[in-house]
Amino acid sequence: MRDSTGFDRASDLLRRHTGDTGRPGEFTLLDREWELLDGVFSPTYTPVTGLFTTWLPFPDGGSFLEIGSGTGVTAVVAAQEGCASVTALDLSEEAVENTRRNAARHGAGDRVRVLRSDLFSALGPEERFDLIYWNSNFAEPPEGFVNETDLHHAFFDPGYDAHRRFLREAPARLNPGGRVLLGFSSIGNVELLRALAAESGQKLTLFKSQGREVDTMVIEFQMWELTAE
């Protein structure tokens, strides 16, 4: 059953993104300075980007694929932590440009390839990765809700259609021994997520979680690993 808590929380975050007249053009995260373009999800309003980035088991010398790269924080850190190749995908043109700028800013432009993509659509059919990661748009909106802008897609997944596609398509993009990790939260619909995984012949195992107080509300940030049944 859909819980309106996640939708309400995400709606508030979206309003802050679009209505904050003091939104900075740069921010500090993980002891690094980052550029922030208009229309791109900002890691300054929620701890999720920094938290998940520190949890990821980046494959040293391997390949990393990030869905929804946003400002590029995770993709850049992946390159700096030893990944030989990083592919960063985002639906938003502004986010693609933001990721490219931050990769160049931190000297990782030669290892971070950035493409505009609806999930895996921009990839070649033969491309495979050692680690696939998506900090998903886990807020479930009410029936009939439509994402009006690219920024809406950073928060809301009507009908969990994007999650369904990700769970179905991600395993085929792995190298042997590769892993799929999904950033999620207790205010997402975990029951539906499990059901969609089962539909695709997969199961979800909690990789790591941590509760954080965000704007007087305690949220459990979760990272799930997708494996075959």
pLDDT along the chain (229 residues), means of 10: 76 88 93 97 94 98 98 98 98 98 97 98 98 96 93 94 97 97 96 96 96 86 94
pLDDT at 215: 79
Helices (H), 20-160: 48-55, 73-80, 93-105, 150-153
Q: 57: which 2 tokens?
A: 């088991």
Residue 129 in 3-state DSSP? Answer: strand
Q: How many CA atoms lie within 13 A of 30 on its CB side?
A: 21
pLDDT at 13: 87
pLDDT at 213: 86
pLDDT at 91: 97
Q: How many CA atoms lie within 13 A of 191 on its CB side?
A: 3
- Report pTM: 0.95
